[in-house]
Structure 1
């Protein structure tokens, strides 16, 4: 099932931190993974979990027009395909390699120091599946998706979680086709659930 809305996800895990690679005679590189295959996210607003299947971006990478930005700021472009950004799939996941401009040296330093610890990407799913064998926590598997942007980011409000531009209620609305009531909750009740979840997670991160 496809949709027309872009979504954003963030991956904050020790083994997924972007790194800086400097080799004599070669330009500096920022390297990281935006996706790790079949890695199940923490519950998204307590409603569902998500994973990306291997090869999900294969079609999107045939003739890619993807850019890398700093903290998803379109005014701070670090690289773009083809040329200064290379995005590939490997056995681990969706890997990016940025050749940043000279003015981005201050950003490179924050990655080297470990201040910037995550990778984020913007995508549009074109094929997905839902596993509802566990009624309390359905799992969304993204089978195919278009890739638009990758970005080094600081630790978000929800470490090791998936945080979307769209709200969880919109994802479920699209899945169920119900505009007024989703999984037994009204839109207003879902807003309250997400607000409470936000507050709990922020307290845990203090």
Structure 2
């Protein structure tokens, strides 16, 4: 996922804050399971943030909630992307330290696309999310899409449910390559389970 390094802000008489960007506008994600890349258009979360009930967690672990809207988590859309500011609880000092030391450098998020556009004119299909719901933001060690079989099916379903360009069917060479990449990825996961 697009990300920027989270930072710690400590000001005299103010609570410590974890600040980062969950999303950077217009930046392409890594290749998602060999099928497509993704980017977010500016303002994709504007509507969702009006009545947001979003939480921030450590490493996407809902047992370690760092903040929640409204109050201890603030979310802003600015010129760069979707910025978050978390006022973490005191038990999270160990997490604050890992960010200060540079051990944790990424940010991630959980969302649901409401409106999207697909561009399949190049070698790799690109999904542009223009409107999305937001559920969570998270400082993470390795920002990426979930690597579980549920995540793989979700990514495949997203790709397969996209509007198909005229004259394109799912038996073309690119689709065959994507299917081969999925099979290879499934085999790697099975080997890891052994």
Mean Cα displacement is larger for which, 55-64 or 35-44?
Answer: 35-44
Counterpart position of 1:204 = none
- 1:53 Cα shift? 0.1
Q: 2-side partners of 1:34 and 1:150: how far apart?
A: 6
Distance 1:166 1:29, change over 3 A: same
**Following the alignment from structure 1 to structure 2, what is the Cα–Cα distance between the partners of residues 182 and 142?**
26
Q: Counterpart of 2:120?
A: 132
* SS in structure 2 of the partner of residue 150 of structure 1: strand
Structure 1 vs Structure 2 CA RMSD: 2.4
1:23-102 pair list within 5 angstroms: 23-102=11-90
Match of 2:183 among 192, 197, 204: 192
Q: Which residue is 1:172 aligned to? A: 159
Counting only pairs closer than 5 Å after superposition, residues 86-165 of structure 1 correspond to structure 2 as 86-134=74-122, 136-156=123-143, 162-164=144-146
The total of aligned residue pairs comes to 177
Give how far 1:196 is off: 7.4
Offset from partner CA, 1:135-162 (integer Å, 9 cap, x none):
x211100000000000000025xxxxx5
Q: CA separation of 1:150/1:105 partners in 2, compared to 1, >3 Å: closer, same or farther?
A: same
Gaps of 5+ in 2: 165-169, 190-194
Judging changes above 3 Å, is the alpha-carbon distance between structure 1 residues 186 and 47 closer, same or farther for their aligned structure 2 residues?
closer
- Over 3 Å counting, the alpha-carbon distance change for 1:113 and 1:73 in structure 2 is same
Between 1 and 2, higher relative CO (CA 8 Å, sep ≥ 6) is seen in 1
Q: Pick closer, same or farther for the CA change 1:70–1:53 going to 2, 3 Å.
A: same
Distance in 2 (alpha carbons) for counterparts of 1:150 and 1:197: 28
